[in-house]
Amino acid sequence: MLLGAHESVAGGLEKAFHRADAHGDEAIQIFTKNANQWKEPVLVREQIAAFRAAHAAWGGRPVVAHGSYLVNLCAEKLDILERSRETVFAEMVRCEGLGVDGIALHPGAALDLGEEAALDRVAEGLSGVLERTKGMRTRLCLENTAGQGSSLGWSLDQMASIIDRTDDGRARLGVCLDTQHLFAAGYDLRSAAGYDAFFAEFEAKIGTGRIAAFHLNDSKRPLGERVDRHEEIGMGHIGLYPFWRLMNDARFERTAGIVELPPETAATSLTRLRAMRGAPEPREKRLVRPLELTPPQAKGPRRR
């Protein structure tokens, strides 16, 4: 797997590659705009040229963009729905211009809309965007969610249903698998049987060939809690085994694997992941923080 982190674009989009060099990234994820604003930046020719030149100097390795957090492709309010579709279209156009490989996109939240109607609405929006972007190289990738609230895309059945209902450009739809979201949604990959069963189900319902990227995150919360809380690799409830399997799974040896953590913990997580390549199965199920190793101190006499 080609490992890297979500890199900052502060100072210019092309600056992400300088940070990637410093961190030893083999793949990166970026925001091409403020993910918490609707405002769409207009990239001038010089900005695009600078990004492409820096990307080429970095070796042309995989770049994934993360879509806007405001997008809701199953919104009930028609103005939000239309704005979401236009935002995804604009992101596709911008990423195509920059030469970005793919966009990780959350499907949206159904709120009071029924599941079937919501799935239809997401697929309709994706069909429209893919129809308008025919011929583009950039791939639109559905990211599985933790299932928090009314978020769609937490189960393989929902993900498969969205893909199956997408009429135009279905072949251009990829998947970005987030390990923490899988765990939060109840998929347990912590044993050989669990890992193999999950990917067998994924192959049958979606196809591993659609996996364009991974988000590699451990989980602060236990299995199946449907809460999106990332943790440092090996320090959470997922532990080491699933990441070791992923690092040595030949199906994903050229796939981007992105750690979505603050810089300090991203660095230590990437070091651990790189060390797993070609290594024997880890003996420990999970790592222990130094504070957890410290025995509780005996209580002294109470002062009066």
pLDDT in tens, 151-208: 999 999 999 999 999 987 788 899 999 999 999 999 999 999 999 999 999 999 999 9
Measured between alpha carbons, how far is 41 from 33 in angstroms, rounded to an integer? 7
Dist CA 217 CA 12 (whole Å): 27
Answer for the pair 211, 258: CB distance below 8 angstroms, yes or no. Answer: no
Measured CA to CA, the distance from residue 66 to residue 259 in angstroms comes to 13
Cα–Cα distance measured from residue 49 to residue 12, given in angstroms and rounded to the nearest whole number: 12
- Using a cut of 0.85, tell me whether the model's pTM lies above it: yes
Distances from the Cα of 2 to the Cα of 16, 66, 216, 248, 293, angstroms: 16, 17, 11, 12, 33
Q: What is the pLDDT along the chain (304 residues), one digit of tens a residue?
A: 999 999 999 999 999 999 999 999 999 999 999 999 999 999 999 999 999 999 999 999 999 999 999 999 999 999 999 999 999 999 999 999 999 999 999 999 998 889 999 999 999 999 999 999 999 999 999 999 999 999 999 999 999 999 999 987 788 899 999 999 999 999 999 999 999 999 999 999 999 999 999 999 999 999 999 999 999 999 999 999 999 999 999 999 999 999 999 988 999 999 999 999 999 999 999 997 654 544 444 444 333 3
Q: Where are the domains of the chain?
A: 2-293
Question: How far does CA 116 lie from the centroid of its chain?
Answer: 24
Per-residue model confidence (pLDDT) at position 293? 46
160, 206 Cβ separation under 8 angstroms = yes
Cβ neighbours of residue 283 closer than 8 Å, sequence gap 6 or more: none
Of residues 158, 13, 186, the one with CA closest to residue 73: 158
Q: What would the two tokens of residue 293 be?
A: 């190793």
If you classify domain 2-293 with CATH, what class do you get? Answer: alpha beta
